[in-house]
């Protein structure tokens, strides 16, 4: 499987938001819709800090 996990950066620590992310969709004003392979979904107001394809990570940070 090639899914990545989504994290939020808080106090220089990465906290997991959602495992096995399948969809990341940009909405308006730094808002994102993310959904995983299990059907769990969320909206998040943040910006993408970095994406590591090798480590299967998407890291967001608050705006």
pLDDT in tens, 31-61: 999 999 999 999 999 999 999 999 999 999 9
Confidence tier at 1 by pLDDT (50, 70, 90): low
Q: Is the pLDDT of residue 2 over 90?
A: no
Residue 57 placed within a domain: yes
Residue 54: give the domain boundaries: 33-63
Residue 42 placed within a domain: yes
Residue 19 placed within a domain: no
Residue 16 placed within a domain: no
Residue 5 placed within a domain: no
Q: Which residues pair with 23 in a beta bridge?
A: 35
Burial of 51 (0-12, 13-18, 19+ CB in 10 A): middle
20 φψ region: left (φ > 0), alpha (ψ -120 to 50), beta (else): left
Task: Note whether 6 and 14 are within 8 A (CB).
Answer: no
Q: How many domains does the chain have?
A: 1
Which pTM was predicted? 0.91
Among 52, 15, 58, smallest CA distance to 36 is for: 58
Quote the CA–CA distance of 19 and 9 in Å, as a whole number: 15
Residue 9 placed within a domain: no
């Amino acid at each position: 499987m090639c899914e990545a996990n989504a994290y939020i950066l808080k106090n220089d620590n990465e906290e997991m938001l959602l495992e096995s992310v399948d969809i990341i969709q940009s909405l308006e004003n730094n808002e994102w819709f993310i959904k995983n392979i299990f059907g769990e979904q969320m909206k998040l107001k943040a910006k993408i800090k970095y994406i590591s394809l090798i480590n299967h990570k998407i890291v967001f940070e608050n705006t």
